[in-house]
Amino acid sequence: MTDVLLRLWRARRRHAHIDAMLRQCADGWEVSYSRDDRPLMSRRFDTEEDARADATTRFRDLQRAGWIDHW
């Protein structure tokens, strides 16, 4: 298995950005979050769908707080 990171989204606000990255692990899927390229946190999930759902929920929370989508 290759260790491929897929960026799910990038949110921007006031010259800062937060990224959500998805990768497949040996025991499931991991979503990692970073702010200005510094790690914030990561979570592991059994399925890709659960990992993507977590990232979507967190992105919506950021949007409500004033962050905007930026690819």
What is residue 2's predicted lDDT score, i.e. its pLDDT? 55
Of the candidates 58, 52, 60, 57, the one whose C-alpha atom is nearest the C-alpha of residue 24 is 52
**Cβ neighbourhood burial of 15 (10 Å; 0-12, 13-18, 19+):** exposed
Distance CA 43, CA 57 (A): 13
Sequential pLDDT tens for the chain (71 residues):
557 889 999 999 999 999 999 999 989 999 999 999 999 999 999 999 999 999 999 999 999 999 998 76
Instruction: List helix spans (H) across the chain.
Output: 48-64
What is residue 8's predicted lDDT score, i.e. its pLDDT? 96
What is residue 45's predicted lDDT score, i.e. its pLDDT? 97
Q: Under DSSP, is residue 67 helix (H, G, I), strand (E, B) or coil?
A: coil
